[in-house]
Structure formats: structure tokens, C-alpha cells
Structure 1
Amino acid sequence: MEAALRLYVSLIPGSSLDWLSGLPADTPSGPAGSVRLAGFTLGDQRYMAIEAGPLDPFNHSFSIMLECADQAEIDRLWAALSDGGSTEQCGWLRDRWGLCWQIVPKRLGELMSDPDPDRVKRVTEAMLRMTKFDIAGLEQAAAGN
């Protein structure tokens, strides 16, 4: 858990690993010290993590969406978080620890809010064909190219 959290806070501006601790008593999840807790901040969102062994693997029920200002930020986060993990359609990836992330351009939300339903349809169709989002490709779809 600590290695994962240190990577996450190094990638996202305004982030910090606020605290780490182990539970001093036995728990149903394991002996004293085997359950670890952490508090961390990613950007302006605070989280708490619990490491208690392989009881429940990660799935899409808990994932983190990162909204990116530009393609360079998408590319940087995509490369770092997918390293040792796997990628999926629509901007989704699973990092090497199994946590799911969606790396999304801010521009996608703007394009999907367009009042022209044909434009939104073209952007949606382009988005569904992408693995890592490509802002230029989304813009081309919006324009009808």
C-alpha cells in the first residue's frame, strides 16, 4: 500500500501522504500489525486506505477519475499508472496494484455537453473506440472529420 500511495501522490499536484499506521491489536483480518491504515490527499480530495490482505480484490466499484487539462497530462498519468498494470477502453486502466483509474480530458465533458445531439453522438462514438483518450481525435469527431 505504501509504495502505491507514494506513487499516486508523486503524480498528482497538491497531493500528500498524510499518515500511515498499523493496528496494534489482532483483528478478524489478521494479527496485530498486519492491518495498516493510511490517510492521503490526491489533489483536493482526501482518502483513507486500509490494507488487510487479499480479502477483497479491487474492482470498478471503487475507482478514481482524474480529469486532465491537456494531452500531455493524460499521457504522463497514463504512462505512470498503467506501468505494470493493464488498460481498458474509454480511458480506464488498472494499475500494478489493481486499483482502477479513469484518465479523462476536461474537454470531453465540454464536448459531451454540446447542444448539438449529432456532435455529441460523434464524440461518444469516437470515445467508445479509444483506450487512452486522445483530445485531438475527440475534437475531430466533434467537427465531423
Structure 2
Amino acid sequence: MKLQKITPFLWFDHQAEEAAAFYRSVFPNSRPGPVVRNTGAGPGRAGDVLVVSFELEGMTFTALNGGPQFRFSEAVSFVVHCATQAEIDHYWEKLCEGGEPSQCGWLKDRFGLSWQIVPERFVELVNGGDEAVTGRVMQAMMQMTKFDIAALERAAAG
């Protein structure tokens, strides 16, 4: 894997390998990367997985089995931009498995990592320059759990 300038580094208790496999199963354009095992010189038992690298949609991620000291919070999340409702439905369903849906396209996956599944059309509508359309679309979005592109379009039309 080519090193990118900035790499998201995800801290897990002991599920780094499981999480990397899960995320690779969700995103079709993914691949595994190197796995670093404990040598006995650091935390954990010799031979246990310490760090797992993986790639999703061309972006490298690193997952660490760092122990229970830190947990994910909504303060940091990943946004998945989707072109179609089918794509929204796919990512929503897969990432919500064992997780928890929230409002406005937000969810926590089964590891506690926050994601927002957002249609590209939403971004277009709220950045279109028409304040009335933006207001109606934002108001519609605030009523949603999972984004519904057709409902956003209806709101935009007034």
C-alpha cells in the first residue's frame, strides 16, 4: 500500500482485525493491507494482532488493538457520499447491522464508530443557492433517520 499523507487511525479494544474485515465486506472497492503482530515487547501477547491496515474506496485506514482505554464518539465520523437510493440503502443496512441508527443519516456501527450516509443530491440541493429550497430540504432532512432522496426532491420542489 502506498502511504497517504493523512491516514485515519481507529482505536479498538481487541476487534481491529474483525472491524477491518467487516468494513472490507461493506465497501465493494476495498482490499486488505499489512497486519502487524505483537512481538511481546509491547502491549498484548506475542503473536496477537496489534495493527491492521486496509483500504476502502482508495483510502487507507489503520486499526489498532489498543485496549479499552478509549472509545469512539460522535465527535469524529465518516461521511459516505451516495449517488442513488440503492447505494444509501446498501450502506445504511450493512453499517447498521448490530449498530444503532440515529437521525439525519447518522448511525453508529457495531463497533461504535459513527457514519453519515449522505446522498450527493442532498449536497447539491442545499448548496444550490436558493435559500427557500435549502430551508425546505434541511427541514425535511431533520425529520429523517435514513436519507430518502425522493422525499428531499419533493421538499425541494415545495
Q: Same fold (TM over 0.5)?
A: yes
* CA root-mean-square deviation: 1.6
Q: What per-residue deviation string (whole Å, max 9, x for no partner) do you get for residues 49-98 of structure 1? A: 11111110111233211111100111111111101110111111111111
Partners of 2:63 and 2:150 lie apart in 1 by 36
One-letter code aligned to 1:110: E
Q: Considering Cα pairs closer than 8 Å and 6+ residues apart, tell me whether 1 or 2 has the greater RCO.
A: 2
Post-superposition, which runs of at least 4 consecutive aligned residues in structure 1 deviate over 2 A?
Answer: 29-35
Partner of 1:19: 34
Q: Amino acid of the residue matched to residue 25 of structure 2?
A: S
Instruction: Tell me the percent identity.
Output: 44
Structure 2, unmatched stretches of 5+, are 1-15
1:124 aligns with 2:117: no
In 1, distance between residues paired with 2:149 and 2:91? Answer: 15
Question: TM-score if structure 1 supplies the norm length?
Answer: 0.90
Count of residues paired in the alignment: 143
The yes-or-no answer on 1:2 pairing with 2:17 is: yes
For normalisation by structure 2, the TM-score amounts to 0.83
Can you give the 5+ residue segments of structure 1 that lack an aligned partner in the other structure? none
- Secondary structure class of the residue paired with 2:33: strand
Distance in 2 between the 1:64 and 1:20 partners?
23
2 CA distance for matches of 1:84 and 1:14?
22
The corresponding residue for 2:90 is 76
Question: Which 10-residue stretch deviates more, 86-95 or 3-12?
Answer: 3-12
